[in-house]
Amino acid sequence: MSDKNPIQIRIAEYYSRYGPMVLRRCRQLLKNEEKALDAMQEVFVKLILYHDRLRDRYPSSLLYRISTNVCLNLLRAERKRTIILKEDMFTRIASYDHHEDQVVLRDTLDRLFRGEKISTREIAVMHFVDGLTLKEVAQEVGLSISGVRKRLRNLRTRLESLEETPNEG
């Protein structure tokens, strides 16, 4: 007699039958073998955790949808971590104390904001230094949230390119 209950048996059957399909989907979306394997495991963990809520009529469609959602959530979380790291760069710039660092940073900021509208500098200060949300900044400067987000994204891109190129003296 087996130690497994009917749920465990069904999930094991799904894993052997649909596991390759789930892994292909995760590879397709994540483009990374290790992340795809982790995501596939997470799909089946979710299946175990929520088995009582799931319908058994179309398991391949269900697993495909779960794998898509798991992968998209991983990509979103990764993108948020990247944005937080980039925002940390702006926070470091705002908090430098040493005179030498301030001179270098002043030059970097001058190069960063060269050719930008004055309101772009104000947006950056309000968001990164004062800690206002995108919505609050948008209300202050009279732009849409997407307009503020676009200006900040452009600043991040410019800052990254400044970090990659030597100082143009």
| Residue pLDDT, tens place only, 61-79 | 888 888 998 998 888 877 7
Kindly tell me if the per-residue pLDDT of 44 is higher than 70. Answer: yes
- Residue 106 falls within a domain, yes or no? yes
Q: Around Cβ 134, how many Cβ atoms within 10 Å?
A: 18
**pLDDT at position 116:** 77
Residue with tokens 């040493």: 98
**pLDDT at position 154:** 84
pLDDT class of 147 with cuts at 50, 70, 90: very high
Q: What is the pTM of this model?
A: 0.46
Distances (CA, A) of 101 to 22, 85, 168: 50, 20, 17
pLDDT tens, 151-169? Answer: 888 888 877 776 666 554 4
Which tops the pLDDT comparison, 121 or 145?
145
Residue with tokens 């495991």: 41
**pLDDT at position 1:** 47
Residue 154, token pair as written in the block: 């452009």
Q: Around Cβ 35, how many Cβ atoms within 10 Å?
A: 17
* Domain membership of residue 110 as a residue range: 96-164
- Residue 73 falls within a domain, yes or no? yes
Number of separate domains in the chain? 2
* CATH value at residue 14: 1.10.1740.10
